Amino acid sequence: MNTTRERRFPDKFLWGAATSAHQVEGGNTHNDWWRFEQQPGVIRGGRGSGEACRHHERFAEDFALAAADGHGAHRLSLEWSRLEPRRGHFDAAAVAHYHEVLGALRRLGMTPIVTLHHFTNPLWIADAGGWESRDTIDRFAEFATFCAREFGGEVDWWCTVNEPEVFAFRGWSEGIWPPAVRDNSRALGVIAHQLEAHGRAYHAIHEADRLDADGDGHAALVGFAKHHVQLEALRPWHPLDRLVAHFERRVFNEAVEQATVTGRIDLAIPGARPVRRDVPGLKGALDWFGLNYYTRWRVKSLAREPHVATPGAPLNDLGWEVWPEGFRRALHSAARAGKPVLVTENGFADAGDTLRPRALFEFAEAMHRAIAEGVPVAGYLHWSLLDNFEWADGWHGRFGLYGVDPADPRGPRRRTRSAEVLARLARANALTPEVEEAAGRVALGARRD
Ligand code: BGC
């Protein structure tokens, strides 16, 4: 294929980066993650979120970097525990802070894409049963209403929940995130509650946000972010590998992707209590589909390590396979929700920024191909603007277009070559020879790491 010919993206395509509050802000002491991080042994390397990137203080400067790189959009999350530290009590200083944050983005000409739940919970939510309690659905809908009313004049793009399936499996099945439970039945219940909460918040936001922030005729566009993982048998001839991969694909990808299409929650894994119910108001409760895509796992049944990377494939620093074709396929799956797809996350942990520039280019190519095949992609938000607190992996996964030293969060942000690749893409809104020049010409497939 001719990789130097200019290949354009659709007009008004949103280019930018994504972050989440707890991972970058620092000092989020009123949520369940902060409390979890204080326990010995739960965070790789022992360093918790702490001051993180001090983005709570440095947001204007960080956004200026993104704007200078041509980003026209930015995804961030509002920290529920800051805004509502006690039930029904909204903190005026936190509200003023997020107005400043959103105002800063608007002044720089960047469209905010605002997530309401990105894994963290106020302590009062966690202590009242968290996402296993149906009451949390009501509390979240109230929070969504508050945010839509308060920030609706600045925000049109709302993302209700981030990755219900990752949130649930990490916290309730693998038990490596709070509340550290290991019970698949309870994990399925949590996914179901998050999907229901999405449906409730969808209607609450449309009800409460009547202000069109940018005059494009839409006061609110509401979606959620789904983490799509390619899951395939390690040994294609092995019936059990294939069967397990099939079940995992169904519960992890398809069931969640189809919930707003059918209005039905249908979650099942062998050995766990299935959750099957029709949810009033969930069908059609989606204006756009948020796709988070990172990797493919090979399923190895009956093994201590049930998921492994494809042997010989290029890997990121966390051992995740970097496979552009998987992104193209994930975009097609996302399109089955019947709505425009917004890539709410895609990125590569790469402390040395060695593989990432080329990976970014090849993923942009894969996305361009998917668009040419008919997938309505509205934008691409790279994970992440800054190196940040990578949950249980601590500071080991460095995803930032801008490097941050966690020991010196007041120090300079270090621009990477990947930042330049994305900047060229965003400015040209096309795959041009200049983009490829910044990315390097050695194809990922030709690398041997
Ligand atoms: C999450 C991010 C995380 C990223 C990389 C996604 O699952 O939404 O919070 O940092 O993956 O692991």
Q: Which tens digits make up the pLDDT trace of 168-189?
A: 999 999 999 999 999 999 999 9
The pLDDT tens digits of the residues spanning 25-40 come to 999 999 999 999 999 9
Cβ–ligand 1 distance for 115 under 6 Å, the answer: no
Tell me which residue of 61, 57, 72 sits closest to 26, measured CA to CA: 57
Cβ–ligand 1 distance for 345 under 6 Å, the answer: yes
The pLDDT tens digits of the residues spanning 268-312 come to 999 999 999 999 999 999 999 999 999 999 999 999 999 999 999
Q: Which of 174, 253, 345, 395 has most ligand 1 atoms within 8 Å of CB, for mutation?
A: 345
Residue 5 pLDDT grade (very low, low, confident, very high; cuts 50, 70, 90): low
Q: How far is the CA of 384 from the centre of ligand 1 (A)?
A: 9
Cβ–ligand 1 distance for 166 under 6 Å, the answer: yes
Q: How far is the CA of 389 from the centre of ligand 1 (A)?
A: 10
Domain 7-446, CATH class in plain words: alpha beta
242: pLDDT strictly greater than 50: yes
Q: Which residue, judged by its Cα, is nearest atom 9 of ligand 1?
A: 20
- Count of residues in the chain: 449
DSSP per residue over 358-369, as a string? HHHHHHHHHHHH
Quick one: which atom of ligand 1 is closest to the CA of 347? 5
Question: What is the pLDDT, as a whole number, of residue 2?
Answer: 46
Q: How far is the CA of 238 from the centre of ligand 1 (A)?
A: 31
Q: How far is the CA of 76 from the centre of ligand 1 (A)?
A: 12
Average pLDDT over residues 129-146: 98
Cβ–ligand 1 distance for 292 under 6 Å, the answer: yes
Average pLDDT over residues 219-241: 98
- Give CB contacts under 8 A, 24+ apart, made by 276-283: 277/192, 279/195, 279/196, 279/199, 281/199, 281/200, 281/202, 281/203, 282/195, 282/196, 282/198, 282/199
Question: What is the pLDDT, as a whole number, of residue 403?
Answer: 98
The pLDDT tens digits of the residues spanning 375-405 come to 999 999 999 999 999 999 999 999 999 999 9
Q: d(Cα 19, Cα 26) in Å, to the nearest integer? A: 13
Q: Which of 382, 383, 401, 404 has most ligand 1 atoms within 8 Å of CB, for mutation?
A: 383
User: Do 361 and 439 contact (CB within 8 A), yes or no?
Assistant: yes
Chain mean pLDDT for the chain: 97
Cβ–ligand 1 distance for 116 under 6 Å, the answer: no
Q: How far is the CA of 386 from the centre of ligand 1 (A)?
A: 13
Tell me which residue of 18, 157, 25 sits closest to 94, measured CA to CA: 25
Average pLDDT over residues 425-448: 93
Cβ–ligand 1 distance for 227 under 6 Å, the answer: yes
Q: How far is the CA of 97 from the centre of ligand 1 (A)?
A: 24
Tell me which residue of 290, 212, 414, 324 sits closest to 14, measured CA to CA: 290
Tell me which residue of 15, 11, 31, 14 sits closest to 23, measured CA to CA: 31
51: pLDDT strictly greater than 50: yes
Question: What is the pLDDT, as a whole number, of residue 448?
Answer: 53
Pairing mode of beta strands 414-415, 402-403: antiparallel
46: pLDDT strictly greater than 90: yes
Cβ–ligand 1 distance for 20 under 6 Å, the answer: yes
Average pLDDT over residues 411-428: 98
Question: What is the pLDDT, as a whole number, of residue 446?
Answer: 86
H-state helical runs in 8-110: 21-24, 32-37, 55-68, 80-83, 92-107
Average pLDDT over residues 205-229: 97
Q: Which residues pair with 159 in a beta bridge?
A: 115, 223
Average pLDDT over residues 122-141: 98
Residue 6 pLDDT grade (very low, low, confident, very high; cuts 50, 70, 90): confident
Q: How far is the CA of 178 from the centre of ligand 1 (A)?
A: 15
Task: Report the percentage of the chain scoring pLDDT > 70.
Answer: 98
The four Cα atoms 411, 414, 419, 421 give a dihedral, to 10 degrees, of: 170
Cβ–ligand 1 distance for 387 under 6 Å, the answer: no
